[in-house]
Chains A and B, each alone.
Chain A
Amino acid sequence: MVENMAMIETIQFFVTCLVDTLYPQVGEAAVRVLRRVGARVEFPAGQTCCGQPAFNAGMRPQARQMAEHTIRVLESAPGVVVLPSGSCAAMIRHGYPEIFAGDSRWSLRAETLAKRTYELTEFLVDILGVTDVQARFAGQLAYHASCHLSRDLGVILQPGLLLRNVKEADIVELPHSDECCGFGGLFSFEYPEISHAMLDRKIHNIRSSSASVVVACDAGCITHINGGLHRRGLSPCVRHIAEVLEKT
């Protein structure tokens, strides 16, 4: 199947609070995909939330508490850290160094964690060099580029490379696929009308595509778009990329 795995023996799987609570099957799917490509997956039991909600709210002391907790939990575990979420990976990679800037002791710990943290598709493609995970998924798949994944982490092509190698999948275009769905974490609670208008645009684009399934790499977008589709009486068709890649 996939060779050259000696380098990456152990993965610390950071499931993220949304996937943990709302989409445990996505976490399981990601673990299956990682195991299929030969990785040994571990789950640091103390993990909770990376702190992104507090960080985005502007509540730095609270964000820092959660970041410290996460760093403590992850830094003692060996190997790389992999998350099935672009925004949480971005939080650890760019948010943590920002939170601890000016605190030399913690910022070293934050930077060290940041450097070994990867989003799932980024890890598969950039670190393992795997673009074919032997998946099979019949249907018209379109890809929604989550904002933090594409613009903060710069992970733009990786999900598409993986999807292109899914057997029986027909990759179709989603117009304006990189436009924000209007989630933005707290933004969607604080400014529901604007968020609603942005989501309408996203849903319009989804409906104008021929996709049967829209694939995303962030539970935030998935929750938001599916929640909007469901309220409108439409089928919640957004799935996490791990759910597609796990199917054989």
Chain B
Amino acid sequence: MRQAYCRSAGEDIRCDAGNLKSGGYWIRIQIPAPFNLMPDYFDTQIRAALANTGLQEALDANAERRIEARLQANAALPNHQVLRRRAHSVRASTLAKLDEYLEQFITKAQLNGLIVHRAADAAQATQIVIEIARENNAHLVAKSKSMISEEIGLNHALEAVGLRVVETDLGEYIIQLRGERPAHILTPAVHLSRVDVGQTFHESLGLPFSDDVPTLVAAARQALRMVFLEAEIGITGVNFGVAESGTLCLVTNEGNGRMVTTLPPVHIALMGIERLVPTLDNLALLLTLLPRAATGQKITVYTNLINSPRRPGDPDGPRQRHLILVDNGREALRQSPLAQALLCIRCGACLNACPVFREIGGHAYVGLRGEISTYPGPIGAIISPGLFGQSEFGHLARASSLCGACKEACPVDIDLPKLLLRVRAGGIKIDPGRAKQTLPGLVAIGIRAFTWFSIDVRRFRLAQRMLGFFSRILAPRSLWMHLPVFTGWGYSKDFPRPDLRSFRRRWMSRQSAISVIRESRDSLDQLSETSGDESSDYQSLATRFAIELMALGGEFTLCSRSDLAQYILKILHNHNIGSLLSWETDQLPNSLLEAIQTAGIQVSHDLDPSIRAGLTGTLAAVADTGTLVMTGGPGRALFSSLLPEVHIAILRTSDIRESLPQVLGMREIQSAASVVLISGPSRTADIEMTLTIGVHGPRELYVLCLDE
């Protein structure tokens, strides 16, 4: 196992290079075993599927066509949502009283002349078929597509005792010729192109190569016609059994189902015990939904309702009809938290809708030992572990983004995401011990640690600060972190660097700021008499300024000198701005512009109306009104705070004054050629008294306040 994985993992996996910045493809590093997050075979199959362009095209075409067809067909039903909820409750109530309905069904079917068998597991079911074949001295078996026969491995078992088995559904026939398993429960050959099929027919049937679809279909028709006529036994599945009448319902489009149930002298129907509906009325409801969900058809081409074998005087029909009711884990599943999965009517809509299935296809859904799961896709990721074991198939349920497209598509409204989560939590028995079997070690450790930090807010705050700190070691200059590939995320995405000031810190400091200002107002009278502590004065002024500025629509951030560049870069980044109209270096904090330029921002000091952000310092600010004060002059262009959409101003807390008169009394104001007082972003109410932000000046104003 490990070797197989390593070989594959050691190869370079090419990724879609179309729009990648950094060179086109990654080299997939070999992940050491403790950090290997995926079961080996599953991982290998996923990569193979993603790298198979032919498969990708086929899966895209399948998803697009099927989803569109389903949506259109359902839209034509005025009460589609009502119907699917009704179908859900019909199926659920049937399962709730399954024993009663099974008894009724069996009694009716026997009265109708069917020979009914019950099989507890796959071995019993195949053995029953083998015995029927022997009794009838059969050599050739014609099969119509049936998932339950796949589930019990019927073909293999029959071939092992010398029977020739031929699949007659075109898709099944193709994959049987290729020795493959179905890639989809409805369209078994969904993964193949017409060229693949042509090649298969050429190699297996000795026909001249053709990729013309009608030619290929005609070839299959001809090859299979003799099988229908010569087979001693026809085997089918059952879409629905009707309890009140003992009827078997089979839906097909190709007509092979009709052939198989009509021509061979013996018909064997295999049916999961859960595929029952109580009444023909209920059957009508489900037949309204099944084909729409499956193929977007209002109804399939052929809907067969089978009650009995050939009766005296009938021109055709088998003389014997057997019904084999298969449990194979269903009763246990019915008693488990995954019971709802038994509502499934095998339409395949969840496979078509699933974005994961669309990427990896049915053959990627493999068990722990590499065996392909009979049931792929979202429903397969539930019933495979449900029927065949959590330890073998439980990991399939992890390969889901839980997007819910499956649930939305399901004609009987199965809550698939909820069931997937139950599989992850342990499946048949939701207990933590079982979950471990499929849970990657690194994830388990991570979640345990995260939980420890999350159940105590002090630890949580500590973790946030640690993240903020360590992220700056990992990415000192960028707002994005390039995580290593083994994390999974780093494979093709960057991760945003956590903010140094979390929401809760901002909230708390604002709350305390508001309480500070209340206190300071109360004690202002006292303070004004005794000269007081200067630093607390600054703080209360800064707080008052901040509150006023924010009321005007400006943004206020308190930061340290070392964080200044990062804050500016973040603002630019959030606006997608790559160049900055700035005051000159000597008018701003030391080496600030250098840091900004190093991060790739173009800095200009010349009048350029196309630049969308401006950076300035400030001479002073007025706490009472939230006003910034700037003087023009060498290196301090006034257009930097006027032309761009975004104005970023750097302010020192020590430059904040209480009121306007104090500012206007400053020496610099009186000596400057021009002074501007800025109170919030540009706005007007000139038109219909409607407040509009960003008329001619900046639409947004950010004040970065240096607490020094």
A residues contacting B by CB (< 8 A) are 15, 17, 19-25, 27-28, 43, 45-49, 51, 53-62, 65-66, 68-69, 73, 94, 98, 136, 147-148, 151-152, 179-180, 182-201, 203, 207, 223-224, 226-228, 230-237, 247-248
Contacts and interface: CB of A to CB of B under 8 A. Distances in A.
A19 B464 CA distance: 12
A187 B467 contact: no
B496 A226 contact: yes
Interface stretch (B267-275, B486-494, B582-590, B632-640): B486-494
Contacts of A151: 403-405, 407-408
A20 B464 CA distance: 9
Interface stretch (B221-229, B504-512, B527-535, B603-611): B504-512
Interface of B: 13, 15-16, 19-22, 37-38, 46-47, 50, 355-356, 359-360, 398-405, 407-408, 417-418, 421, 423-426, 430, 432, 435, 438-440, 443-444, 447-448, 450-451, 453-457, 460, 464, 467, 480, 482, 485, 487-489, 491-496, 498-499, 501-508, 553, 573-574, 576, 691-693
A147 to B, nearest CB: 4
A56 B398 CA distance: 9
A24 B498 CA distance: 9
B399 A21 contact: no
Contact of A148 (B404, B418, B485): B404
A182 B355 contact: yes
Contacts of B359: 194, 197-198
Contact of A57 (B20, B439, B501, B693): B439
Query: Among B407, B491, B691, which residue has the most Cβ atoms of chain A within 10 A?
Result: B491
A74 to B, nearest CB: 13
A231 B454 contact: no
Contact of B424 (A15, A56, A179, A224): A56
Contacts of B489: 188-189, 192, 227
A55 B421 contact: yes
Contact of B494 (A98, A193, A230): A230
Please give me the 5 A-B residue pairs with the lowest Cβ-Cβ distance, nearest first: A184-B401, A58-B424, A233-B21, A151-B404, A180-B403
Contact of A189 (B22, B443, B506): B443
Contacts of B404: 147-148, 151-152
A84 B504 CA distance: 14
Nearest to A134: B691
Nearest to B364: A194
A196 to B, nearest CB: 4
Contacts of B417: 152
Given A21-B502, A22-B499, A193-B46, A58 B421 contact: yes
A196 B447 contact: no
A195 B426 CA distance: 24
B10 to A, nearest CB: 16
A182 B401 contact: yes
Nearest to A190: B37
Contact of A191 (B38, B485, B493, B494): B38
A136 B464 CA distance: 33
B115 to A, nearest CB: 43
A105 B453 CA distance: 25
A180 B355 contact: yes
A198 B360 CA distance: 11
A69 B450 contact: no
A17 B435 CA distance: 25
Contacts of B553: 248
B488 A192 contact: yes
Query: Among A185, A187, A189, which residue has the most Cβ atoms of chain B within 10 A?
Result: A189
Given A58-B424, A180-B355, A24 B450 contact: no
A196 B51 CA distance: 13
B454 A51 contact: yes
Nearest to B557: A25
Given A58-B421, A58-B426, A147-B401, A223 B454 contact: no
A24 B460 CA distance: 15
Given A56-B424, A188-B493, 12 more contacts: A21-B464, A24-B502, A46-B457, A62-B448, A147-B403, A147-B404, A182-B401, A185-B402, A190-B488, A197-B359, A235-B576, A237-B576
Contacts of B421: 55-56, 58, 98
B455 A65 contact: yes
A203 B19 contact: yes
A190 B403 CA distance: 16
Contacts of A25: 499, 574
Contacts of B47: 193
20 contacts: A22-B499, A24-B499, A24-B502, A45-B504, A48-B456, A49-B454, A58-B426, A62-B451, A66-B451, A136-B693, A184-B402, A188-B488, A189-B443, A190-B398, A192-B491, A203-B19, A227-B493, A228-B492, A231-B482, A232-B21
A242 to B, nearest CB: 12
A246 to B, nearest CB: 10
A20 B504 contact: yes
Contacts of A197: 50, 359
A234 B19 contact: yes
A206 to B, nearest CB: 11
Contacts of B467: 21
Contacts of A28: 503, 506
A233 B18 CA distance: 12
Contacts of B401: 147, 180, 182-185, 187-188, 195, 198
Contacts of B360: 194
A182 to B, nearest CB: 6
Nearest to B357: A194
A236 B504 CA distance: 25
B355 A224 contact: no
Nearest to A246: B553
Contacts of B439: 57-59
A247 B691 CA distance: 12
Contacts of B464: 20-21
Contact of B418 (A54, A66, A98, A183): A98
Nearest to B492: A196
Contacts of A19: 503
B540 to A, nearest CB: 22
A128 to B, nearest CB: 21
A140 B274 CA distance: 51
Given A58-B435, A228-B493, A24 B424 contact: no
A248 B691 contact: yes
A89 B503 CA distance: 18
B504 A191 contact: no
B440 A66 contact: no
A184 B356 CA distance: 11
Given A58-B421, A187-B402, A53 B447 contact: yes
Contacts of A22: 496, 498-499
A193 B50 contact: yes
Contacts of A53: 447, 450
B492 A191 contact: no
B454 A69 contact: yes
Contacts of A231: 20-22, 482, 492-494
Contacts of B456: 48, 69
Nearest to A99: B425
A232 B482 CA distance: 12
Contact of A227 (B480, B485, B504): B480
B579 to A, nearest CB: 14
Given A180-B403, A200-B16, A27 B443 contact: no
Query: Among B13, B408, B450, which residue has the most Cβ atoms of chain A within 10 A?
Result: B450
Contact of B400 (A184, A193, A196): A184
Nearest to B468: A21
B37 A189 contact: yes
Contact of A196 (B15, B405, B576): B15
Contact of B450 (A47, A54, A223, A237): A54
Nearest to B426: A58
A190 B494 contact: no
B451 A45 contact: no
A166 to B, nearest CB: 13
